[in-house]
Amino acid sequence: MYPSSLFGHTIEVYSEFRENPAIPADAIIRKFFLNRKYLGAKDRRFIADAYFGTIKNWRRLESLVVDCFEDQTITATRTLAAYSIAYLDESAETTRATFAEIPRNEPLATDALIRLADREREEARLASLPLDEQLGSRYSYPTWFVSRVREEYGEEVVTQLLLTLNGEAPTSLRANTLITDRDALTKELRGEGCETAFSQIAENAIILEKRVNVFGLDSFRRGAFEVQDEASQLVAPLAGIRKTAIKALDACAGAGGKTLHLSALMKNHGEIFASDVDDWKLDELKLRSRRSGAQNIRIVKQADKIKFLGEDKSGWFDLVLLDVPCTGSGTVRRNPGIKWLLTEQMLDELVQKQRTILEENASFVKLGGTLLYATCSVLKEEGEAQLKWFTGQHPEFQLEETLRTHPELDGCDGFFAARMRKVSASASV
């Protein structure tokens, strides 16, 4: 396929995302490809890379458009032209000629494209901005988010963290120990043509060294692994499960990545109640649990909560996992569309929602039981600060251990998790 056609397709799918930023970026492009089966593998790879690259770098690219086009109007075509010049190192003339061949596409002024290619012009503009705004524009994050990260981690960390979160996330697999082990899975994957490496931070994690459609592998179909980031794989083991015949509650189970991990750690013994506000996610968990061989998971949909998670379950569970809704700022490498949605109001609302979830589910933990709190956020307001607030409100819970992953150091997503023990029957605030 000619470059003009590739960019034409990218403009089309990027325009759809721009009009619907609340829809996950991967869902939009998945549907786009599903409706265009004529696209070959190489064409899809180019379109996907350009699409996600533009989303990841949206603020920088749109700033370039505003600075370089006289009318300062932002369009999908201009934004992709800026991507072509800034990230694919295409010249202004080559970009103009390529985009001119796209049917029904807007014409691009040569002088504007020449300005787009002028890196000294961009550096001078950035240098005139306050530090946080400069970093936000350069790495395409909201300024308020940059300020929070800098305040929480320091100036020596913020740049590397933002740069890392803009990178490409590797595909990480968790060996399903109900069916296999990491060594056997590595051998099986090698036989399926996959080059792998062992994770250095997660016991059962395997990293794919090349991009592969893992969902088409026989090893996946037989349930030998789940796709799960290394950081996410650290959460369930933090529960410190010693006895497998326990009663556990995953109150924010979603599609069940950590539920399935708990099932494996419990060796299919005991019972896990999995609930979520979105029933459709639990339908996905049901399918995944069948494939993985997990037989100790009881799915509790909203209509059944009173029946299965009523007052009679107060003080009943040995373990309660709360993988709470959050900004997802630690997973930007995988979900770059998050950048478009991050607002201070969103953060404030999520902090309150997290506190409500903690309050509503803490009573399910039995005396001597464990409360495990987790977020996939790099912001301490959703992690360490929430932990301080909760233990202040509930002295019956004693902090035992915390976990914080650092993408710029660990090469994984940004996660926070904390294990607390219920040491007394009631609070006395």
> Distance (Å, rounded) from C-alpha 265 to C-alpha 233?
11
Q: What is the pLDDT of residues 21-77, one digit of tens each?
A: 888 899 999 999 999 999 999 999 999 999 999 999 999 999 999 999 999 999 999
Confidence of residue 288 (pLDDT cuts 50, 70, 90): very high
Find the mean pLDDT for residues 152-164: 94
Mean pLDDT estimate for the chain: 95
Mean pLDDT of 364-375: 98
Which residues neighbour 166 within 8 Å (Cβ) at sequence distance 6 or greater?
56, 57, 139, 140, 332, 333
Please tell me the predicted confidence (pLDDT) of residue 410: 94
Choices 3.20.20.70, 3.20.20.80, 3.30.70.1170, 3.40.50.2300: CATH for 172-227: 3.30.70.1170
**Separation CA 79–CA 13 (nearest Å):** 13
Residue 429 in this model has a pLDDT that exceeds 90: no
Strands, DSSP E only, in 115-241?
A: 172-175, 196-198, 205-208, 225-227
pLDDT of residue 425: 85
- d(CA 231, CA 117) in angstroms, rounded, equals 38
Confidence band (pLDDT; 50, 70, 90) for 368? very high
pLDDT at 426: 66
**Boundaries of every domain in the chain:** 3-128, 172-227, 238-422
Please tell me what DSSP assigns to residue 424: S
What average pLDDT score do residues 152-175 get?
94
CA pair distance 311, 15, nearest whole angstrom: 49
What integer pLDDT is reported at residue 133 of this predicted model?
97
Which residue in 232, 199, 195, 233 sits closest to 214, CA to CA? 195
Within 8 A by CB and 6+ apart from 204, the residues are 174, 175, 177, 181, 182, 233
pLDDT of residue 21: 87
Summarised one tens digit per residue, pLDDT across range 178-212 is: 999 999 999 999 999 999 999 999 999 999 999 88
Which residues are CB-contacts of 363 (< 8 A; sequence separation ≥ 6)? 314, 315
Decide if 3-128 and 172-227 have a common fold.
no
82-95 tens-digit pLDDT = 999 999 999 999 99
* pLDDT tens-digit map of 125-147: 999 999 999 999 999 999 999 99
Q: Is the pLDDT of residue 307 over 60?
A: yes
pLDDT digits (tens, 9 = 90+) for 318-348: 999 999 999 999 999 999 999 888 999 999 9
The pair of structure tokens assigned to 338 is 């998050």
Q: Are 420 and 399 in contact (CB under 8 A)?
A: yes
Structure tokens at 226: 């789940």
Integer CA distances (angstroms), 118 to 82, 86, 112, 121, 199, in order: 11, 9, 10, 5, 41
The phi and psi torsions of 114 (rounded to 5 degrees) equal -65, -40
Give the per-residue pLDDT at 1.
85
Fold assignment, 238-422: Rossmann fold (3.40.50)
> What is residue 428's predicted lDDT score, i.e. its pLDDT?
42
Distance CA 426, CA 429 (A): 10
Pairing of strands 247-250, 317-323: parallel
Query: For 145-162, what is the mean pLDDT?
Result: 94
Sorted by sequence, the CB contacts under 8 Å of residue 251 that are 6+ apart come out as: 275, 276, 320, 321, 322, 357, 361, 364
Residue corresponding to tokens 């694919």:
88
Ramachandran category for residue 217: left, alpha or beta (phi over 0 → left; psi -120 to 50 → alpha): beta
In angstroms, the Cα distances linking 364 to 96, 109, 420, 422 are 63, 64, 13, 11
CATH 3.30.2000 fits 3-128, yes or no: no
Q: What DSSP assignment string belongs to 344-359?
A: HHHHHHHHHHHHHHHH
> Six-digit token pair at 287?
């399918």
Distances (CA, A) of 405 to 168, 377, 418: 17, 10, 12
Give me the phi and psi of 275, to 5 degrees please.
-135, 160
Instruction: Give residue 211's pLDDT.
Output: 86
Do the Cβ atoms of 422 and 243 come closer than 8 Å? no
Bridge partner residues of 402 (DSSP)? 418
Comparing CA positions, the residue from 428, 313, 418, 318 lying closest to residue 368 is 318
Does the model's pTM come out above 0.85? yes
The answer, yes or no, to whether residue 116 has pLDDT greater than 80, is yes
| pLDDT above 90 coverage of the chain, percent | 93
Distance (Å, rounded) from C-alpha 160 to C-alpha 156?
A: 8
